[in-house]
């Protein structure tokens, strides 16, 4: 890996070759840059109790904190994204849930803040204290995922980092949408080594021939099946345990704060 200096901020570490920075958020200032990020508040096309547009803190030191917070006696947490897809389009009560048929119907999507095809995607982050009850992830998703039978031409989910357990991370791809018939998964979990300051680097080199995933400058996984050839958007997300059943954790006793902290998100293109 080679160091890429960013003035006034921590450096990036990139695969060998020449790269140019094409998009970044260094999280300077004290407010979320809404020209770059939206909140995901729907799940399977419905407003979702476990998601919130609260709990975002910029500390004035170029870090963003995604905190779990409380609403109506339940834990909730924020999800940030630079685009949207059928997850985010509210559906009528008579429609089938997205993902339960062979392909998804497409609704009207908002103009994305940022979508991109290929390149190196990187973040520097600190994990939440208790990943067993609050999960975190850095990933990309296609606006048209699951809309046709060829994942290569409607896009996939690429999980650059997911943290569900103490000392472990998961990386890899989900292909074919989220329906029962065509979903495929190619992901691996690996042990995380401690760092002196608690910060970790995660990256994905997405090229036409495949994906290479990195943690702290070391390759952890490769994938070359159903490579997406369409632009995808970026997500920084947190989830409270139980969200998949639409029942966020009920707070018993005192509220316990926790946060996923991110130093930066950057996207680079190869100079060809």
Stretch (H or E) spanning 152: helix 151-154
Three-state SS at 14: strand
C-beta of residue 228 within 8 angstroms of C-beta of residue 43:
no
- Give the pLDDT score at 157: 95
- Give the pLDDT score at 49: 87
Q: What is the spatial distance between Cα 252 and Cα 52, in angstroms, rounded to a whole number? A: 20
Return the ∠ at Cα 186 (arms to 181 and 189), rounded to 5°.
Answer: 135
pLDDT at 244 over 90: no
Number of other CB atoms surrounding residue 162 within 10 Å:
22
- Give the pLDDT score at 47: 83
Structure letter (DSSP) for residue 258: -
User: What are 64-114's pLDDT values in tens digits?
Assistant: 999 999 998 889 999 999 999 888 876 655 554 444 555 566 667 889 999
Q: What is the spatial distance between Cα 116 and Cα 150, in angstroms, rounded to a whole number? A: 19
Q: What is the spatial distance between Cα 92 and Cα 39, in angstroms, rounded to a whole number? A: 21
Boundaries of every domain in the chain: 2-270
Band of residue 248 on the pLDDT scale cut at 50, 70, 90:
confident
Within 8 A by CB and 6+ apart from 233, the residues are: 81, 82, 83, 84, 112, 113, 114, 115, 140, 141, 142, 143
Largest CA distance in the chain: 57
Q: What are phi and psi of 191, to 5 degrees?
A: -80, 140
Greater confidence (72 vs 202) lies with 202
- Give the pLDDT score at 178: 76
pTM above 0.75, yes or no: yes
- Give the pLDDT score at 110: 85
Long-range CB contacts (within 8 A, 24+) of 163-170 = 163/127, 163/128, 163/131, 163/135, 163/136, 163/137, 164/131, 164/132, 164/135, 165/131, 165/132, 166/130, 166/131, 166/132, 167/191, 167/192, 168/192, 169/202, 169/215, 169/220
- Placement of tokens 């770059």 in the chain: 36
What is the CATH architecture assignment of 2-270? Sandwich (2.60)
Three-state SS at 245: helix
* Average of per-residue pLDDT values in the chain: 91
């Amino acid at each position: 890996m080679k160091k890429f200096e960013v003035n006034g901020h921590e450096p990036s570490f990139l695969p060998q070759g020449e790269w140019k920075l094409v998009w970044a958020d260094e999280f300077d200032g004290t407010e979320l840059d809404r020209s770059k990020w939206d909140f995901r508040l729907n799940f399977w096309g419905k407003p979702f109790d476990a998601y919130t547009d609260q709990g975002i803190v910029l500390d004035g030191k170029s870090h963003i904190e995604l905190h779990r917070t409380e609403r109506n006696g339940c834990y909730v947490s924020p999800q940030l994204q630079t685009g949207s897809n059928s997850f985010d389009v509210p559906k009528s009560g008579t429609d089938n849930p997205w993902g339960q048929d062979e392909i998804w119907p497409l609704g009207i999507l908002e103009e994305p803040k940022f979508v991109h095809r290929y390149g190196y995607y990187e973040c520097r982050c600190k994990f939440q204290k208790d990943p067993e009850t609050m999960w975190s992830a850095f990933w990309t998703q296609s606006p048209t995922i699951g809309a046709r039978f060829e994942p290569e031409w409607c896009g996939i989910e690429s999980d650059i980092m997911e943290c569900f357990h103490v000392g472990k991370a998961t990386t890899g791809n989900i292909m074919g949408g989220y329906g029962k018939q065509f979903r495929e998964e190619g992901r691996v979990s690996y042990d995380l080594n401690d760092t002196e300051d608690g910060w970790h680097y995660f990256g994905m080199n997405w090229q036409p021939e495949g994906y290479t995933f990195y943690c702290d400058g070391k390759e952890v996984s490769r994938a070359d099946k159903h490579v997406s050839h369409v632009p995808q958007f970026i997500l920084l997300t947190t989830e409270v345990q139980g969200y998949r059943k639409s029942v966020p954790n009920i707070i018993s006793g005192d509220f316990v704060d926790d946060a996923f902290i991110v130093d930066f998100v950057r996207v680079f293109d190869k100079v060809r």
